[in-house]
């Protein structure tokens, strides 16, 4: 993580003269959104899945399934309903392989 951040800072990250600064990856919206995930999803859980090694496409499909299953009562169903499709795509592409 440190090396990624150092690299991000060493590259020009201004998007044009009067433009908007491009945040390094660790400080962008994807990082903010996925801050909600790591407090539960660690390797080695019995009832909460580890996110290690899941392809991004599969992760997105699983999150959308949680979001769109109106009968689902788990905590993950209840939380997934709070995210729009763009947010879910961003989360999946950040955490997925």
Partner 1 sequence: MSPGLSRRQLLAVLSSLGLAALSSPAARAQSASARLVVVGGGFGGATASRFLARLLPEASVTLVEASREYIACPFSNLVVAGYRDISAQTFEYKALQREGIRVVHARATAVDSAKRTVSLDSGSRLSYDRLILSPGIDLRWGALEGYTPKAAERMPHAWRAGLQTMLLREQLEAMPEGGTMLMSVTAAPFRCPPGPYERASLVASYLQRHNPRAKLIILDSNDSFSKQTLFQAAWREHYGNMIEWRSASEFGRVIRADANAMRLHTDFDSEVGDVINVVPPQQAGKIAQLAGAVDITGWCPIDATSFASTLVPDVHVIGDATIAAPMPKSAFSANQQAKVCAIQVARLLNGLAPEPTTLANTCYSYTTPESAISVSGVYTSADGQFSNVEGAGGVSPSGASAEFRRREGQQAADWFAAVTREAFL
* Residues found near partner 1 in the complex (CB under 8 A): 1-2, 5-6, 9, 13-15, 18-21, 23-24, 26-29, 31-33, 35-36, 38-42, 44-48, 73-75, 78-83, 87
User: Both ends of the chain: CA-CA distance in Å?
Assistant: 16
* For partner 1, the closer CB: 53 or 73: 73
- In the complex, the smallest distance separating the C-beta of residue 54 from partner 1, rounded to whole angstroms, is 16
- In the complex, the smallest distance separating the C-beta of residue 58 from partner 1, rounded to whole angstroms, is 21
- The full length of the chain comes to 97
Q: Can you read off the two tokens belonging to residue 82?
A: 């709070």
- In the complex, the smallest distance separating the C-beta of residue 86 from partner 1, rounded to whole angstroms, is 11
Q: Are 29 and 90 in contact (CB under 8 A)?
A: yes
Q: Are 67 and 88 in contact (CB under 8 A)?
A: yes
């Amino acid at each position: 993580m440190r090396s990624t951040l150092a690299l991000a800072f060493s590259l020009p990250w201004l998007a044009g003269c009067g433009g908007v600064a491009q945040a390094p990856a660790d400080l962008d919206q994807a990082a903010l959104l996925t801050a909600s995930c790591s407090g539960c999803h660690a390797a080695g859980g019995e009832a909460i899945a580890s996110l290690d090694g899941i392809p991004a496409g599969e992760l997105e499909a699983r999150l959308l399934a949680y979001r769109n299953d109106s009968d689902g009562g788990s905590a993950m169903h209840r939380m997934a309903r709070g995210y729009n499709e763009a947010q879910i795509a961003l989360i999946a592409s950040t955490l997925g392989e």
